[in-house]
Amino acid sequence: MEPTRILPTQADLRRELARIDGRGYPAYKEITGRYAFDGFTLAIDHVQGDPFAAPSRLRILRAPAAMGLPEWAHATPARRVATADWLARRFAAALDAGARGGRRGSGKSGLIAIDRPGQEILARSAAVVSPRMVELRFVAGLPAGGRRILGREAIDLLCEQIPALVEHALTLERPELVGRGPREGNLWSLEAQIHAVEDQQALRAALAERSLVAFVADGAILPRESGVSDRPLRGPHVLAFEAPDSLAVTLETPHSGPVRGLGIPRGVTLIVGGGYHGKSTLLRALSRGVYDHVPGDGRERVVTDATAVKIRAEDGRRIEQVDISPFIRGLPFDADTRRFCTDEASGSTSQAANIVEALELGARLLLIDEDTSATNFMIRDRRMQALVSKDREPITPFVDRVRALFQELGVSSVIVVGGAGDYLDVADTVIHMDRYRALDATERAREVARTFPTGRLQEESQGFPRPEPRIPLAQGLDPRAQRGRVKVRARETDEIRFGWESIDLQAVEQIVDPSQTRAIGALLSRLGGRYLDGRTPLREGLEQAFRELEEKGLDVLSPFGSPVGDLAMPRLLEVGAAVNRLRSLRVRGTDGPR
Ligand code: ADP
Ligand code: MG
Identify which of 230, 262, 276 to mutate to test ligand 1's pocket (most ligand atoms within 8 A of the CB): 276
Residue 182 has a pLDDT of 45
Q: Is residue 222 in contact with ligand 1, taking CB distance under 6 Å?
A: yes
User: CB of 464 within 8 A of CB of 323?
Assistant: no
| Whether the predicted pLDDT of 328 surpasses 80 | yes
3-class DSSP assignment, residue 334:
helix
Per-residue pLDDT of 239-295, as tens digits, reads 999 999 999 999 999 999 999 999 999 999 999 999 999 999 999 999 999 999 999
| Ligand 1 contact via 238 beta carbon (within 6 Å) | yes
Nearest atom in ligand 1 to the alpha carbon of residue 277 is 3
Mean pLDDT along residues 410-435: 96
Among 490, 510, 497, 480, CA closest to 361? 510
CA of 239 to the centre of ligand 1 (A): 10
Strands 412-416 and 365-369: parallel
Residue 443 vs residues 68, 198, 212, 259, 428: alpha-carbon distances, Å: 57, 36, 19, 26, 10
For ligand 1, is residue 281 a contact (CB within 6 Å)? yes
Measured CA to CA, the distance from residue 350 to residue 318 in angstroms comes to: 8
In the predicted structure, residue 3 carries a pLDDT above the cut 70? no
CB 426 within 8 A of CB 399: yes
pLDDT (mean) for 513-521: 96
% of the chain surpassing 70 pLDDT:
95
Would the CB of 467 count as within 6 Å of ligand 1?
Answer: no
Q: Is the pLDDT of residue 218 over 60?
A: yes
From first CA to last CA, the distance across the chain in angstroms is 57
Domain ranges of the chain: 10-177, 192-270+291-299, 309-451, 470-589
Listed in order, strand segments (DSSP E) in 421-528 are: 429-434, 437-440, 488-491, 495-498, 501-504
Q: Give the contacts of 7 (CB within 8 A, at least 6 positions apart).
A: 34, 35, 36, 41
Q: Minimum-distance ligand to the CA of 220? A: 1
Strand partners, 134: 62, 129
For ligand 1, say whether the CB of 284 is within 6 Å of any of its atoms.
no
Q: Please state, rounded to an integer, the average pLDDT across all residues of the chain.
A: 92
Q: How far apart are CA 520 and CA 516, in angstroms?
A: 6
More confident site: 267 or 484: 267
Contacts of 450 (CB under 8 A, 6+ apart): none
Q: What is the pLDDT of residue 489?
A: 82
Indicate which ligand has the atom closest to the C-alpha of 372.
2
Longest pairwise C-alpha distance within the chain: 88
296-312 pLDDT, tens digit per residue, is 999 999 999 999 999 99
Tell me the CA–centroid distance for residue 306 and ligand 1, in Å: 24
This prediction has a pTM of 0.94
Residue nearest to atom 11 of ligand 1 (CA): 276
Model pLDDT, residue 492: 83
Using the mean position of ligand 2's atoms as its centre, give its distance from the Cα of residue 494 in Å: 21
Choose one of 270, 271, 281 to mutate for the ligand 1 pocket test, by most ligand atoms within 8 angstroms of C-beta.
Answer: 281
Check if 178 has its Cβ closer than 6 Å to any atom of ligand 1: no
Residue 233 near ligand 1, beta carbon < 6 Å: yes
- Ligand 1 pocket member 188 (CB < 6 A): no
Instruction: Please work out whether the CB of residue 279 comes within 6 Å of at least one atom of ligand 1.
Output: yes
Q: Which of these, 524, 513, 536, 514, lies nearest to 486 by C-alpha position?
A: 524
- Kindly state the average pLDDT of the residues 205-228: 97
563 residue type, one letter: P
Tell me which H or E stretch contains 546. Answer: helix 538-552
Give the whole-angstrom CA distance, residue 387 versus residue 85. Answer: 58
CB atoms within 10 A of CB 329: 15
Q: What is the pLDDT at residue 500? A: 79
DSSP labels, 45-82: EE--SSTTSSPEEEEEEE-TGGGT--GGGGSSHHHHHH
Taking the CA of 373 as reference, the closest ligand is 2
pLDDT digits (tens, 9 = 90+) for 122-170: 999 999 999 999 999 999 999 999 999 999 999 999 999 999 999 989 9
How many helices (DSSP H) and strands (DSSP E) are in the chain? 14, 27
Distance CA 243, CA 401 (A): 29
Judge if the beta carbon of residue 273 lies within 6 A of ligand 1: yes
**For position 483, what pLDDT does the model report?**
55
Nearest to 397 by CA among 417, 467, 359, 362: 417
Centre of ligand 2 from the C-alpha of residue 388, in Å: 29
The reply to whether ligand 1 has any atom less than 6 angstroms from the CB of 419 is no
- For atom 27 of ligand 1, which residue has the closest CA? 223
What separation in angstroms does the CA of 399 have from each of 153, 378, 459, 526?
66, 6, 9, 39
Q: How far is the CA of 445 from the centre of ligand 1 (A)?
A: 22
Q: How far, in Å, is the centroid of ligand 1 from the Cα of 302?
A: 16
Ligand nearest to the CA of 278: 1
Q: Which atom of ligand 1 lies nearest, measured to the CA of 224?
A: 16
Compute, in angstroms, the gap from residue 569 CA to the centroid of ligand 1. Answer: 29
Residue 277 near ligand 1, beta carbon < 6 Å: yes
- The sign of the dihedral angle between the CA atoms of 472, 568, 49, 18 is negative
Please indicate whether residue 239, judged by its CB atom, sits closer than 6 Å to ligand 1: yes
